[in-house]
Amino acid sequence: MMTRLDALKRHSLVVADTGDLEAIQRYHPQDATTNPSLILKAFELPGYQALIDQELAAVKAETDDRREEHAVDRLAVAMGSEIAKLVPGRVSTEVAAKLSFDTQASIRKAHALVELYERRGVAKDRVLIKLASTWEGIRAAEVLEKEGINCNLTLLFSDAQAQACFDAGVFLVSPFVGRVTDWYKKETGQDFSPENDPGVQFVRGVCERVSQGGYDTVVMGASFRTTGQVLALAGCPRLTISPTLLEELATTSGEVNPRVLMTRSGGPRPVALTESAFRWGHNQDAMANDKLAEGIRRFAEDQERLEEQIADRLAAL
């Protein structure tokens, strides 16, 4: 009988939520997505040590200014370039979380990342620039999309965030499942079945909004805690899944039926959100407010830890 992973691939494009090259080779995902937390983990993987030393040596030789920040960009792109050799699709690379409220700085950082990729022979159509789904991040994505640089809007927790991304013509959004459910479990003390899971229901709602409005934006469910959540979103266009859950799906058999049907009705679209309407709509969702702020803080903290490790290794060179 077919594994659940292979069965899932009949309904959704599977994306590896990791920078681990061995895991990517093992599960054959379409795309791969990274973030500062995953790069921090990859920083300790044996397979990356020679690449890390090479990149840090180049950074040390090139500049004395903002070495650690520049090194993070170089490493993210170097790792992403290695991943691009293993996946047929795209690699997502994140703009620093500390830029989440600065549109112009986010655009400049995106340009710098794309340039680094192109120097390595990876064309911009193989890359997705990841930005937090703040008003400023969405505005940066709107500009980048018009320039032909596709974006992945992450840390998405509210309907207002999703609608603003659709209005901006963003290529892909990553509504989070597990972190939504975490919040509701903490607030209510309840456990949820996959069918009644608040995170699953949220992502299904985002998919429904895309279908009803006939938007071109791709929905990619993210931040899964269990395979039950994953399977409850079979049919969502893309699902980014951690190696632990990929392994569980690859080592169990069974049928996987589509639970999300993407039928483009192309009905009337709502009026594009103004900034004030966006901020009000997002503000009215306590979960979304909490998790967006927390997510930005966590990614920023991981980047700081990564920069500290880089500083130590640079000093030792």
Q: Does residue 61 belong to any structural domain of this protein?
A: no
Residues 130, 146, 185, 291: which is the catalytic one?
A: 130
Establish if 39 belongs to a structural domain.
Answer: no
Q: Which residue has the higher pLDDT, 274 or 38?
A: 274
Dump pLDDT digits (tens) for 74-87.
Answer: 999 999 999 999 99
Q: Is residue 137 part of a domain?
A: yes
Q: Work out the pLDDT band at 45, boundaries 50, 70, 90.
A: confident
Mean pLDDT of 35-57: 83
SS3 assignment, position 221: strand
Amino acid at 98: K
- Quote the domain boundaries for residue 82: 4-33+78-298
Contact in structure between 148 and 124 (CB atoms under 8 Å): yes
64 pLDDT exceeds 80? no
**Cα distance between residue 140 and residue 152, in whole Å:** 11
Residue 308 in domain: no
How confident is the model at residue 265, as a pLDDT? 73
What predicted TM-score, i.e. pTM, was given to this entire model?
0.95
Q: Which residue has the higher pLDDT, 38 or 90?
A: 90
How much is the pLDDT for 55? Answer: 87
244: domain CATH number is 3.20.20.70
Q: Which residue has the higher pLDDT, 276 or 51?
A: 276
Work out how many domains the chain is built from and give that number: 1
Mean pLDDT, range 122-146, rounded to an integer? 98
Ranges of H-type helices in the chain = 4-8, 21-27, 36-42, 49-62, 67-84, 103-119, 135-146, 159-167, 178-188, 198-213, 227-231, 243-250, 275-283, 286-316
| Predicted local distance difference test score (pLDDT) of residue 63 | 65
C-alpha dist (Å) from residue 134 to 12, 41, 83, 164, 293: 27, 26, 27, 9, 10
Contact 165, 133 (CB under 8 A): yes
At residue 66, the pLDDT reads 78
Q: Residue 66 and residue 132: Cα distance in Å, rounded? A: 23
Write down the mean pLDDT value for the chain.
Answer: 94
- 130: annotated active-site residue: yes
pLDDT at 314: 86
In a domain, 15, yes or no: yes
Residue 290 pLDDT > 70? yes
What tens digit of pLDDT does each residue of 204-220 get? Answer: 999 999 999 999 999 99
Mean pLDDT within 130-157: 98
Whether 169 maps to a domain, the answer reads yes
Domain assignment of residue 63, yes or no: no
